[in-house]
Amino acid sequence: MSPRPRDTDSDTGTDTASDTGSDADVETGAQPRQRIIEAAAGLLAREGRDAVTTRAVAVAAGVQPPAIYRMFGDKGGLLDAVAEYGFARFLATKHVDPDPPDLIEDLRGGWDLAVEFGLANPALFSLMYSEPTRPTSAAFRAGLDVLMGRIRRLAAGGWLRVDEALAAMLIHATARGAVLTWLSLPEDRRDPALLTTLRESMVAAVTTQEPAVQDTGPAGAARALRAALPEQTVLSGAEQHLLREWLDRVASEG
């Protein structure tokens, strides 16, 4: 039988009854923590963010409210943990192919996966991306590493139109915008062409139609950059000479 929740303020966590400590050791373990996070995520999915109060989560998880404050600090800490849980769930859906046969299709597939996750988990997705501090999440950074690996392969193959940091921002912005725009529309106005058009706009902004480097690897990239050197005006003559010498060495390795 679940313990009876204490009389606490649902958002501030003010405890109006003393904590006997009889279940303190049991409630602070890893398993109760996960149970609390999953209970909060369930309330979020079913009833929205306003339903995620400490009292409601405690009832759903079968713990006393003080356990939530011991583990998470306050409601904000609990929501941070739920967001981290969301990033971890999203990361688990990602398939990493270190050598995809088609780099552009790999980019499309990753974007589609992010949008599909957001549409399947709207409340969780909104929580994950609602705070600027969320990107400090370990799971978020692991997911970003997957994305940057995908972008780096595009760059190495000569397909990237913009620099890697801007490419990551464009991919994130269009995926989030696609999800949030779709969810904001009445169901009878949700046209799948919106998602397809946004994805293809992202692909066009991030990649080139033909690879700038025909030969993959550092040697091919060095030859392409060496060929473009006479057209640039950023470097001085001495700098161009030194860079050309370096590129010659790299190109000769191919």
Three-state secondary structure string covering 209-247: CCCCCCCCCHHHHHHHHHHHHHHCCCCCHHHHHHHHHHH
Give the other-Cβ count within 10 Å of 137's Cβ: 21
For the purposes of burial, counting CB atoms within 10 Å of the CB of 168, is it exposed (0-12), middle (13-18) or buried (19 or more)?
middle
User: Which amino acid does the sequence have at 151?
Assistant: I
Residue 11: per-residue pLDDT: 43
Nearest to 211 by CA among 110, 98, 104: 104
Res 178: pLDDT: 97
**Structure token digits, residue 169:** 């921002």
Q: pLDDT tens string for the chain (254 positions)?
A: 434 333 334 344 444 333 333 344 344 455 999 999 999 999 999 999 999 999 999 999 999 999 999 999 999 999 999 999 999 999 998 878 888 999 999 999 999 999 999 999 999 999 998 876 566 778 888 999 999 999 988 887 888 888 889 999 999 999 999 999 999 999 999 999 999 999 999 999 999 888 766 666 677 677 667 766 776 778 888 888 888 888 888 877 75
Give alpha helix (H) positions in the chain: 24-27, 30-47, 54-61, 65-72, 75-93, 103-120, 122-128, 138-156, 164-184, 192-206, 218-228, 237-252
At residue 20, the pLDDT reads 35
Residues 6+ apart with CB under 8 A from 95: 109, 113
Q: What is the pLDDT of residue 65?
A: 92
